[in-house]
Chain A
Amino acid sequence: MASNLSTPDATRVSSSRPARPTPGRKNRGTKKNKGPYPYWFYLVPGVIYGLFFLAPTFSSFYYSFTRWDLFTATWIGLDNYEQFFAEQALVIGLRNTLIYAVMTSGLKVVLGMALAVLLTSRIIARGYLRSVIFFPVLVSTIGVGLTFTVLMNPEKGLINNALGAVGVAGPGWLTNPHLAIFSVGLVDVWKGVGLATVIYIAGLVSIPQDYYEAARVDGASSWDMFRHITLPLAKPATASVIILSLIGGLRSFDLIWSMTKGGPGFASDVIASVIYKQYQAGFFGLSTAGSVVLFVLVTAIVVPLTWWLNRGETA
């Protein structure tokens, strides 16, 4: 397994290679076949992307080596990087980022798969259930954050009142330093599980029914069928869910910011919120250095993982 992770091939990392490489099309390099695929299709998007994303991003890399207050920039070499790694919140932030990303994508895989199995089985009210689970995906993150902050209020919130009614003393969801990051993660899952479910439904629907019929004839139990047919054949869907939610989880900011602002204290800080706070404090060079670090971290995790997941798929 470990050997699979080495030397990711840059040209293959995108989540999809042609699923059906048409045989006999090897000669597409010849002049004749270039015709229908003109490079000028790249022109407009290329200009927009280059001008409004690449150019500013590259110039910001320069600023990560400076002390920059937006008005003047002084070259200070690697000091910002040194300082960024010396930040006390960073250790917490790094740990929380990983916890958050793994927890949210893990739960989305498990719950998404479970819900998809449920929603593709013969139960009543399937359409309603699909809708109701998917709808939060569409709703504003700030709105969701504000609503759940109120629901999770330890004294007056609905959640703890409900728990209290059945005799359970609810915890301080967002005020307990050990719990806050998990509570936000749960809300993230609540909001995002609909997308994972829909992706899985697509994956499950595309599995030929014959497989199940054959297995049933062989006397396989439901669990056997899930274990040996559904799970392996839903792997592309699993790959999509993991990659999407992992990138989202590692970069996540909006929800954490609208619910805890990284608090109490620094207990629910993630790297993105540390960066943002430095930006707010006016440490623009430092915060840019932080963005570079986050970029490297996400790349270091996502690129090999993508490569590995895709590799497994064709193997």
Chain B
Amino acid sequence: MKNLRGVVGGSVAVVVSAVFFLVPFAFIFVTASKSVSESSLLKFSWPQHFVLLDNLKQALAANDYLMIIAFINSVILTVVSVAALVLLGAMVAYVWQRRGGRFAGVINVLVLAGLIVPPAVVPTIWVLQKVGLFKTMPGLILIEIAFGLPFCILLFRAFIASVPRDLDEAATVDGAGPVQIFFRVIFPVLRSVMMTVIILQTVFVYNDFQNPLYFLPGTENATIQVTLLSFQSQFNTQYNLLFANILLVTVPPLIMFMFFNRKIVEGMAAGSVKG
């Protein structure tokens, strides 16, 4: 009985999810595979002439292979800033949660402010110029770190609260210093929430287009999302190329997803609700 219900319920869910979640992606795929004129009809149909590869090639080759440079830039930006966010966010959250004290209230306010206040563009550029990092990748990375920290700290803090203090204490008794305790004892325990932080921040940084647009201007510095934005106005007569671009932009998350699918859903689950 129960199994029958599972099969029926599951089948219904599969059909419904296919309509709601797979069709939009299928639409991206078929539109990216069509010729210019066919794609402009915006129909959800199998292409008469399947020219996906040509379209992808054209999209990649547009503006002197800007896409490829943008891919490299996006990967550097995402990897470095997410790595830094994980490390720094965990450090702050650890001391904040464990020690409390005078600074705890201040940090609480700062973290909340960071979540809520929209950043101010022009004064930020002035700061970047003063320290000589405007229009540089390290500058943009530091910006992404500054804007992403509050959220990371919050996630880490929630999780660290569930890590027993006995762990730190045992390590202290064994004579370990703060850095050793943090890296050898606490950091490894944070694995599942770390997955959450990594995924969410990767999504955030990779998909961000406003910050690169302002803080890293210049064609040769483009990131993936910025190219998508400029293709939107450039290819407004060529839906097939526009969707070929969307398809290309969606590939890296798709790959990440296929490799880490299980871990992602489990890690998200473990990390997002306090233990």
Contacts and interface: CB of A to CB of B under 8 A. Distances in A.
Does A pair with B?
yes
Interface of A: 10-11, 13-20, 22, 25, 28-29, 34-39, 41-42, 44-45, 48-49, 51-57, 59-60, 63, 70, 118, 121-144, 146-148, 150-151, 153, 156-158, 161, 190, 195, 198-199, 201-203, 205-206, 236-237, 240, 247, 251, 272, 275, 279, 284, 288, 291, 294-295, 298-299, 302-303
B147 interface: yes
Contact of B21 (A29, A123, A132, A146): A132
A135 B9 contact: no
A44 B87 CA distance: 11
Given A19-B162, A49-B110, A60-B123, A141 B104 contact: no
B161 A199 contact: no
B7 interface: yes
A140 B158 contact: no
The prevalent SS among residues of A at the interface is helix
B265 A247 contact: no
27 contacts: A11-B105, A13-B108, A14-B111, A36-B181, A37-B99, A41-B94, A41-B95, A45-B91, A51-B127, A53-B147, A56-B119, A57-B119, A70-B122, A124-B6, A129-B10, A132-B18, A137-B203, A138-B254, A139-B207, A139-B250, A148-B24, A150-B31, A158-B42, A158-B43, A195-B272, A198-B272, A240-B272
B273 A59 contact: no
B191 interface: no
Nearest to A206: B273
Contact of A129 (B17, B146, B157, B181): B17
Contact of B116 (A122, A140, A247): A247
A240 B155 CA distance: 10
B21 A133 contact: yes
B97 A15 contact: no
Interface string B129-161: 001000000000011011101000010011001
B3 interface: yes
A251 B117 CA distance: 9
A135 B154 contact: no
Nearest to B92: A45
Contacts of B117: 57, 291, 295
Contact of A56 (B7, B88, B126, B165): B126
Interface residues of B, number: 111
A123 to B, nearest CB: 4
Contacts of A138: 199, 203, 253-254, 256-257
Contacts of A157: 42
Contacts of B228: 140, 142-143
Interface string B27-50: 110010000000001111000000
A292 to B, nearest CB: 9
A42 B95 contact: yes
B273 A158 contact: no
Nearest to A126: B10
Interface in B71-129: 88-89, 91-92, 94-95, 97-101, 103-105, 107-124, 126-128
B120 A147 contact: no
B54 interface: no
A256 B94 CA distance: 37
B153 to A, nearest CB: 8
Contact of B105 (A10, A132, A275, A294): A10
A55 B143 CA distance: 12
A190 B20 contact: yes
B11 A18 contact: no
A299 B157 CA distance: 20
Nearest to B199: A138
Contact of A142 (B13, B166, B209, B275): B209
A165 to B, nearest CB: 11
A232 to B, nearest CB: 15
A35 B172 contact: yes
B123 A20 contact: no
A122 B2 contact: yes
A224 to B, nearest CB: 18
Nearest to B125: A56
Nearest to A141: B207
B10 A52 contact: no
Contacts of A20: 161-162, 164
B28 A147 contact: yes
Given A38-B178, A41-B95, A123-B9, A205 B269 contact: yes
Given A16-B274, A42-B95, A158-B44, A48 B146 contact: yes
B264 interface: yes
A16 B151 CA distance: 13
A52 B143 contact: yes
A287 to B, nearest CB: 10
